[in-house]
Chains A and B, each alone.
Chain A
Amino acid sequence: MSRRADKSSLARAFGLRGAFWVVSGVLLAALGCFAADSPPQVTLDATKAAPRTVEALTERSIVRDYRFAWANLSQALASNSAEPLNGLFQGTANSRLHDEVSSQLRNGLTSRYLNQTHKLEAVFYAPEGDVMELHDTAEYDLEVLDGNKTIQSAHAVVHYIVLMTPGADRWVVRQLQSVPHF
């Protein structure tokens, strides 16, 4: 009887420990996933924008939409699906990213943009508010995979020239062009 009680207490103890480790593992895995999928961090300095001053509401919209745009871009290139690109990319930027997804898909490659931070600076805001040019100093960990094999994994600092225009309910990215420096 006492042996059975010991067994059951042992089993309970092991069960509890097991459950603890399983929960810890799941939490750690979730944390890892969360870290990998953490949304891009975007800040905007609009003090040098000219000739038009950037309105507070526009400033918030730019930050929000540019963050979504990069989240969608990295999702598209990680999953090789062009669907996330629809909505926040238009014109040249949209067609180029579509081409990039197709090209990756053809060659069995995927790219991951992790731990993104984007420091935006508005350098031009048209008199009528119909186009804005931004300089983005982006930092991210870029992983390029051929199938499951990582062929490139490096921290990158990239300068982008960005053209955004207002859409019906959001600002869309029309040009996203990397340059050696501003």
Chain B
Amino acid sequence: MSWSINTVCRNRSLRSTLGLALGTMVLAAVAFSQDMNVRVPSSAAAGDSISIGTTGSGSATFYLIGPTVSLKHDVQLGTEIVVPSKQTEIAGQYKAIVCSEHCQSADFFVAPAKAASLTLLVHPSRVPVGQNDAISGVALAFDEYGNLIFEPSTVDFQLSAKGSTPTIRSVQTQNGVAWFRAPSGKAAGALQITASLHDIAARRVVQQVASEPCNLRIKGQRTRKGVLVETEPIRDCAGNPVPDGTVVTFTAKAGNEISTVDAPVKQDVARAQIQAKGPLVVSAASGVVMGNELRLEAQ
């Protein structure tokens, strides 16, 4: 009996002790969680010095985990932690962690700073004149720390060539990108493309070259070695001289024999020497253009 009373008593005291301990622990945990807290800024821009608040007392370890940054140092709870601007240059998600007996954390975002540079991609570097949608450009805005700016803003693309009125297209960025497509001009020469956003600009140059030859005329004369044929100055349909190196194929037909000679254009004209003594029919072609036929009698 005494044993059972003792046991009951012991159980009761155990229960009350356990209950007390649990209660204390829960209260302590609640108090602790209320005690130690981390307050992060609701908004911050890249390169801003920020302040992170802590509550509680005693010493703790502060960690800042973010893009490119992993900071760790000892702090006193209840004080403000100042994160220098150097540590917040990269836009993105940051995690402030404060660890004492346990860890508390809070996340915050650093937004890009104002636009400081434009990346402009333009294609192609050389383009034949008179082509639809032949030129394209893409502009992306970045801040001084290399963060992509995705807030909508308007980029002005200006296309200017010598002897023609510049054209301007205003394009609003979508997801941080503005782009355009444009036809090439009528005249060969440099086309300057400028993308500008507020007071920043980026420039590229596209070289507009003559398109395919428009017509091809050849002339020839007998020489001691055979026949010397040459084209008249070759131009595209807009009157631009075709670039040096454009290949012209001369075909000579003597009876049943056919021979061909490829000659590059040099200073607007292509020349070829054909060895033949009998009557001859010479023609020329470049790209999809055929030239006239030239009939030469026997020597």
Contact = CB atoms under 8 A, between A and B. Distances in A.
Given A144-B65, A180-B109, A107 B175 contact: no
A2 to B, nearest CB: 49
A41 B51 CA distance: 37
A121 B146 CA distance: 23
B63 A144 contact: yes
Interface string A162-174: 0100000000000
B99 A151 contact: yes
B63 A103 contact: no
Contacts of B70: 100, 103-104, 106-107, 109
A152 B177 CA distance: 35
B15 interface: no
Chain B interface category by residue count? 35 or more
Contacts of B162: none
Given A99-B68, A178-B67, A126 B109 contact: no
A63 interface: no
Contact of B68 (A96, A106, A123, A124): A96
Contacts of A90: none
Interface string A86-126: 00000010001101100110111101000000000001101
Contacts of A128: 121, 123-124, 136
Contacts of A158: 93
A127 B182 CA distance: 11
Given A108-B72, A133-B176, A144-B97, A96 B90 contact: yes
A92 B140 CA distance: 14
A163 B63 CA distance: 29
A100 B175 contact: no
Contact of A126 (B69, B90, B121, B147): B121
Contact of B177 (A133, A179, A182): A133
Contacts of A163: 140, 148
Interface string B49-78: 000000000000101010111111000000
A96 B32 CA distance: 37
A146 interface: yes
A124 to B, nearest CB: 5
Given A161-B175, A177-B91, A179-B150, A152 B65 contact: yes
Given A127-B136, A144-B97, A177 B63 contact: no
Contacts of B99: 146, 151
A173 to B, nearest CB: 13
A76 B288 CA distance: 56
A83 B140 CA distance: 29
Given A127-B136, A179-B150, A103 B68 contact: yes
Given A130-B138, A161-B150, 5 more contacts: A97-B68, A100-B70, A126-B136, A131-B138, A133-B176
Interface of B: 61, 63, 65, 67-72, 90-93, 95, 97, 99, 103, 105, 109, 121, 123-124, 136, 138, 140, 146-148, 150, 174-177, 179, 181
22 contacts: A99-B68, A107-B71, A107-B72, A123-B174, A124-B175, A124-B177, A126-B138, A128-B136, A131-B140, A144-B65, A144-B95, A146-B61, A152-B103, A161-B148, A161-B150, A161-B176, A163-B148, A175-B148, A177-B67, A178-B93, A179-B91, A179-B150
